[in-house]
Amino acid sequence: MHENLVVPSIDRVAPLTIRWTIGDVSDYGFAALRLSVWGIWQLLGNGPNYVVCVNTIPLPLAQERTGDLPRAVTWRDVSAEFPILLRRYFDECKAEGVGWKFAPLRLNPACMELALDNDCIIWQLPDAVRRWVETPGSFLFAEDVQACFGQFSEICGTAPRNSGIRGLPPGFDLGNAMIEVLSKKQIKLSSELDEQGLQTAVIMRYHPFVVSTNEVSICSPFPPHLPNLGCCGAHFVGLNAKSLPWEYEGRPGVEYIREHWAAHLPAIQQKIKTR
């Protein structure tokens, strides 16, 4: 057991599964994944089921690029698990990795399920997460700095929301809820904003607890993103990218994002002690 482990006294109403999705992203994305897993494990210990879902790259390679994780973590190759009922609604190439968060839709429908983006790192439990865990049948989502919902903007409202943190209750049929939304629009999802918009259109119907950007910042050096860490964590926007199709003052945009990550990394490592 980690020597700095602090397990909050949470009386869960159902078993908890925590999941991440990772594919062929940059080395920085894998470094963030490692810290994301260790961070939430230090908060919750060995009680939850921890699963890293790997797509489009060999599972052993993903494990090697991530490095050591707590023994409680399970690795799962989901490259062949994209849900059949959603295939017609997604770009065949799954541009930008779109849709892989739904492979599979639920790991265990009998569990509460917390999905974290690999570049979302938490070192202190946000109040909204605690309230979600303690409230039967409730949902969880995250605040954003700007409303970006792709082709679903007209039905998602104006409140900025981010799908990097998503909590579902036991028994919730995510697939049918998505089909209900998708059947009303003749589109194919082709961007991360479309994916976020679809999840927002589904989850916001259920009045979720919302993790604020003060707690987990939407973090990058470029406004309107926030340059600083939140009090509980940070979601490092753009860190997964191997390259970006734009420059700023003659330098590739991805270089600024990586420098920003490197500047914050010592503070994060102080908060999250890995092996």
DSSP one-letter string for 152-177: GHHHH-SS-EEEEEEEE-TT--HHHH
Residue with tokens 């409680």: 72
The structure tokens listed for 166 are 């998503």
> Is there a contact between 124 and 221 (Cβ–Cβ < 8 Å)?
no
Name the burial class of residue 257, with classes exposed (0-12), middle (13-18) and buried (19+) by CB atoms within 10 angstroms of its CB. Answer: buried
Residue 215 is predicted with a pLDDT of 98
Among left, alpha and beta (phi > 0; psi -120 to 50; other), residue 59 is: alpha
CATH 3.30.2390 fits 16-236+246-271, yes or no: no
- Summarize the confidence of residues 243-261 as an average pLDDT: 94
Per residue in 200-248, pLDDT (tens digit) is 999 999 999 999 999 999 999 999 999 999 999 999 999 999 999 989 9
| Confidence check: pLDDT of 73 > 80 | yes
| Confidence check: pLDDT of 93 > 90 | no
Residue 11 is predicted with a pLDDT of 53
Residue with tokens 């919730």: 172
What share of the chain in percent tops pLDDT 90?
A: 85
Residue 14 is predicted with a pLDDT of 65
The structure tokens listed for 201 are 């259109």
CB neighbours of residue 165 within 10 Å: 26
Per residue in 148-164, pLDDT (tens digit) is 999 999 999 999 999 99
- Dihedral angle over CA of 147, 17, 181, 157, nearest 10: -20
In order of 41, 42, 113, 130, 167, the CA distances from 72 in angstroms are 9, 12, 16, 21, 20
Residue 46 is predicted with a pLDDT of 95
| Confidence check: pLDDT of 7 > 50 | no
- Summarize the confidence of residues 94-114 as an average pLDDT: 87
Residue 9 is predicted with a pLDDT of 46
The structure tokens listed for 30 are 């894998």
| Euclidean distance between CA atoms 20 and 33, whole angstroms | 8
